Amino acid sequence: MKKEFAHKHAGHRQRLKNKVRMNGLKSLSIHEVLELLLTYTIPQKDTNGLAHELIDKYNGFANVLDADYKDLMNTNGIGEETALFLSIFPDIFELYKKNKAKDQDVKLACPRDCVEYFRKNYELRKTEYLYIIGINNMNKIVKTFEIEGVNDTNINLGLKDFAQMISVKTLTGLILFHTHPNGKVIPSNEDIETTQKIFDICSIMGVSLLDHIILNEESYFSFGSEGILDKMYNKYLNTYSFTKKQSLNLYQNKYDYDKK
């Protein structure tokens, strides 16, 4: 009886794989996609029922992949290997998109370009994130950095670490993406104060802070478009002594970045 079940089970798995080979992953239903994934870490068990159970438990396929590793292991039938296998998929997807984007000739020339680039290549996570995009003097991406928030409303940024991060020879301009997954995109006083500190460090190092964009699912706020960075520029010039030529080279005229 067991041999008969195993034979039928193996045939079902093979039919799923053949279906994907012939018609692509889109030919499978959501639970079939998860069922197929589970077969790679659960070789001797019918994964159909487990796929349905996981989707019901977490209220959707995406939520299964976003589930905590330890929480996944609390599900009957999920061991360490399967929990790890499922939990790394979001990071794999993001790594894929980021590396694919690097292979493209991406030019960030205005806030709209920046937001389009972000929404195409990054996901809004449950906690706040700060994404630092380093560009060269042609506004093309040369380096990217990520800083994870300690919760959904706070990011701790070590300014010394930040200065070290942007010490890249070809990096001459920065665009910051700051996510507010559970709130409005209007910057807080703390957001503005932190941006001023970042602006000052960038200016001292000869790097232009071109924009700081706060995003949520529906909208975004650009420090550049709203004139906040211009005020920071003027404040910086009033604090330190520069010749007219030095001040122009410092920030405003170095890049073809349209703030509108």
Query: What are the pLDDT digits (tens) for 44-53?
Result: 788 999 999 9
Q: Is residue 100 part of a domain?
A: no
More confident residue, 249 or 173: 173
**Residue at 200 is within a domain:** yes
**152 & 227 share domain:** yes
60 and 141 both lie in a single domain? no
Does position 2 have pLDDT exceeding 90, yes or no?
no
Supply the pLDDT for residue 84: 94
Q: Give percent of the chain above pLDDT 90.
A: 32
Structure token pair of residue 238:
């009033």
User: 149 and 25: one domain?
Assistant: no
* More confident position, 153 or 37: 37
* Chain centroid, CA 117 distance in Å: 11
Contact criterion met (CB below 8 Å) for 153 and 113: no
- Among 78-87, 131-140, 144-153, 193-202, the minimum mean pLDDT is found in 144-153
pLDDT of residue 58: 94
40 located within any domain: yes
Q: What's the one-letter identity of residue 162?
A: F
d(CA 180, CA 129): 8
pLDDT confidence of residue 102: 59
Read off the pLDDT band of 242 (50, 70, 90): low
Structural domain includes residue 82: yes
Same domain, 111 and 83: no
93 domain residue, yes or no: no
User: What letter represents residue 142's amino acid?
Assistant: V
Same domain, 248 and 189: yes
Does residue 152 have a pLDDT over 70? no
Could you tell me if residue 75 is inside a domain?
Answer: yes
Supply the pLDDT for residue 12.
77
* Residues spanned by the domain of 212: 106-252
pLDDT band at 37 (very low <50, low <70, confident <90, very high): very high
CA distance 82 to 84: 5
Q: Say which CATH number the domain at 188 has.
A: 3.40.140.10
Whether 229 is covered by a domain: the verdict is yes
Give the mean pLDDT of 99-112. Answer: 74
From 254, 230, 220, select the one nearest 111 (Cα to Cα): 220
Q: Is residue 247's pLDDT more than 60?
A: no
The domain boundary residue, chosen from 59, 87, 115: 87
Same domain, 124 and 64: no
Q: Residue 248 — very low, low, confident or very high, per pLDDT cuts 50/70/90?
A: very low
pLDDT level of residue 176 (50, 70, 90 thresholds): very high
Tell me: do 143 and 16 sit in the same domain: no
Asked if residue 147 has pLDDT above 60, the reply is yes
Same-domain check for residues 115 and 81 = no
CA–CA separation, 93 vs 28, rounded Å? Answer: 19
Q: pLDDT band at 1, cuts 50/70/90?
A: very low
Overall number of domains in the chain: 2
Percent pLDDT > 70 in the chain is: 83
Helices 30-39 & 2-23 angle (0-180, nearest 10):
120
Average pLDDT, the chain: 82
Residue 155: per-residue pLDDT: 57
81 lies in the same domain as 148:
no
Q: Residue 96: which pLDDT band, with cuts at 50, 70 and 90?
A: confident
Q: What angle do CA 99, 102, 103 make, to 5 degrees?
A: 95
- Name the pTM for this structure: 0.58
